[in-house]
């Protein structure tokens, strides 16, 4: 399954200190009515909650790091889940020794400072996440 997309609006901005990173990005998409797109963020977080999906047991293991980290790169996409904008994002973070951590961004990752770019995309159909029985994940349709 794939879509042919074209670029629409591009939005740049910063998130506030103390924002929940994922919730803040989702709120911007809701406010602007962005239902398809991509997102990038750099900056720093004061607290981290990232996940690793265990493919056999089909559950997320959550890693909580209660310390400041740099956001080296956050890459994500925006589509629909339950008819609402849904941000799926992965992040690479660095600690004070330059060690990298990474994973699936969860609520509970708190912004210290963050600069984002959202590229809205348009297509002739929407992408709606649905439970995929093969993986146990909410994915885009197979076709
Ligand atoms: Zn993920």
What architecture (CATH level 2) is domain 8-122? 2-Layer Sandwich (3.30)
- pLDDT value of position 66: 96
C-alpha span between 103 and 11 (Å, rounded): 24
Query: Separation of 49 CA from ligand 1 center, angstroms?
Result: 13
What pLDDT, in 10s, does the model give residues 27-52?
999 999 999 999 999 999 999 999 99
What residue spans define the domains of the chain? Answer: 8-122
Query: Separation of 44 CA from ligand 1 center, angstroms?
Result: 20
Q: Which residues surround ligand 1, an ion (CB under 5 A)?
A: 104
Query: Separation of 12 CA from ligand 1 center, angstroms?
Result: 23
- Beta bridge partners of residue 74, listed in sequence order: 41, 91
Mean pLDDT score, 64-82: 98
Query: Separation of 137 CA from ligand 1 center, angstroms?
Result: 9
What pLDDT, in 10s, does the model give residues 101-115?
999 999 999 999 999
């Amino acid at each position: 399954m794939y879509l042919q997309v074209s670029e629409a609006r591009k939005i740049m901005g910063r998130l506030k200190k103390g924002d929940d990173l994922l919730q803040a990005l989702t709120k911007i998409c809701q406010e602007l009515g962005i239902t398809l797109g991509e997102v990038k963020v750099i900056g720093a977080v004061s607290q981290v909650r990232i996940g690793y999906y265990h493919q056999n047991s089909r559950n997320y293991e959550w890693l909580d790091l209660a310390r400041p980290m740099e956001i080296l790169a956050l890459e994500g996409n925006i589509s629909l889940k339950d008819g609402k904008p849904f941000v799926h994002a992965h992040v690479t973070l660095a600690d004070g020794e330059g060690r990298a951590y990474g994973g699936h961004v969860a609520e509970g990752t708190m912004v210290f400072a963050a600069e984002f770019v959202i590229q809205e995309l348009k297509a002739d159909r929407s992408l709606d996440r649905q439970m995929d029985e093969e993986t146990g994940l909410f994915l885009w349709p197979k076709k």
